[in-house]
Amino acid sequence: MFGAFKKGAAAETAPLAIAEPGLGSEAAVEVIRRLSRAMSSVGKDAAEVRGALEDTQRVVLAQAEAMSALGAQLQQVRQTQDAISQATRQSGEAVERARGALGGVGDEVGGIVSTLRQVSDAAGDITKIALQTRLVAFNASVEAKRAGEAGRGFGVVADAVKALAGQVESSSKAIVGAIATLDERIERFSRELRSEAGGGEKSAIHQAFADVEGDVARIAASARQSGQTMLTLNERAATLEQEVQHAMSGLKTAFACSDRFLRLSEELIEQIAETGLEVEDTPYIRGAQQAAAEIAALLEQALASGAIGEAQLFDEQYRPIVDTDPAQHLTAFTQLADRLFPPVQERLLSLSNKVVFCIAVDRNGYVATHNKSYCHPQRPGELAWNTANSRYRRIFNDRTGLASARNQRPFLLQTYRRDMGGGRFVLLKEAAAPIVVRGRHWGGLRLAFGF
């Protein structure tokens, strides 16, 4: 059945069947028209399916990106956990070394206590000697006085010795007192350092060491548990990433199938339209072709009058307009398009209440000027509004846009979802016809209409 509508076969078989007079001819025409309507519905369904696939693909791509980011973060966490584990091991070893050093300090402190006691004993001996020296000096002083004038010099010396002995006695007593206080403090500290081995209550120092050891042990246990959890998460993340990749592969296959199905419906409708039979899409095809011819004529007149040069008309150096989102651009022919295109484009909007837009685009999908209702200046920071209402000066190089812009056949029919921004889409059909200037393909006339 479909073979009659393939290219070549459609031109030979379908017109002959339609051209035959009588009921059979009328019946064939009606069948073809019903087929056209059916294929249009099929194309609509295929476009909706493709749109759903695109939505799913966006979600899956977002999931893939999220999984990739999660994998990287999990790897970083795992590295951090490894560093924590290593640090806790080092901390535990350091505590053990400190505990061992603490025992050595205890021994050293014991030695210091013993030495200080020796110093104290020596100071005590000095005190005794000083006391004896004072007594001897006192006796010598008494004897010197008894000797009278002859013992006066000896008395002076004896008094000096007695005074010096008194100073030595005072200093030695001070040393003994200071050493006693120091000895008491050091002895108490030494007992604290040695108190752990006795099995009784731990000293503050040893309790602090025990607390540190307990904290390090808890950190190490948490790190091990966290490491195990991270290992499980990494395995699960790897599984999810594989599932996402399978989903991407399945979506790719589904896209290819939906595209083939959609293109088949479009080609069948095109082939029916090529027979010359009036179908639902014929007025839009004819309108697109006529508008394309008018735009081509206007551009040729502009070239002939010198209003623009051929290099400028075919300019593909798109200069970005700063601070625009979505991005807008200017070219050498933008101002010319602003003058010439609107009358043709606006008139085609009255072709039917189903017409959504009519625009002339260059071969790269650049829209210099759109219909007036879509030529509003952008609002800073309002992407969704800009996407829907500021569609001029933009490049639409998506699948549909490029296909219409670069089509060089008499016409092209497409069915697609139009992105209106903010997650809103409109299902449209589009008839496109090539714009040829002086034998050179400039772009296409895109006429979009609803179902």
Q: Does the pLDDT at position 7 exceed 60?
A: no
With H, G, I as helix, E, B as strand and everything else as coil, classify residue 211. Answer: helix
Asked whether 175 and 119 are in contact (CB, 8 A), the reply is: yes
pTM of the model: 0.53
Give 26's pLDDT tier (boundaries 50, 70, 90). confident
The sign one gets for the Cα dihedral 295, 300, 305, 311 is: positive
- Please write the tens of the pLDDT for every residue from 68-125: 676 676 677 767 767 777 777 777 777 777 767 666 666 666 677 677 677 777 667 7
Q: Which of 13, 5, 41 is nearest to 429 (CA)?
A: 41
Give, as one character, the DSSP assignment of residue 115.
H
Residue 306 reports pLDDT greater than 90: yes
Instruction: Give the tokens for residue 17.
Output: 């069947």
Closest CA to 403 of 430, 428, 421: 430
pLDDT of 322 higher than 60: yes
All structural domains of the chain, each given as residue ranges with its CATH number in brackets, are: 1-278 (1.10.287.950), 281-451 (3.30.450.20)
Query: What average pLDDT score do residues 131-154 get?
Result: 70
Position 447 pLDDT exceeds 70: yes
- Segment 156-189, tens digit of pLDDT: 776 766 676 677 767 767 777 777 777 777 777 7
- Amino acid letter for position 101: A
- Burial of 165-186, coded b for 16+ CB within 10 Å and e otherwise, reads beebbeebeebbeebeeebeeb
Task: Band the pLDDT of 366: cuts 50, 70, 90.
Answer: very high
Cα–Cα distance, 290 to 209 (Å, whole number): 93
At 377 the three-state DSSP class reads coil
- At 3, the pLDDT band (50, 70, 90 cuts) reads very low
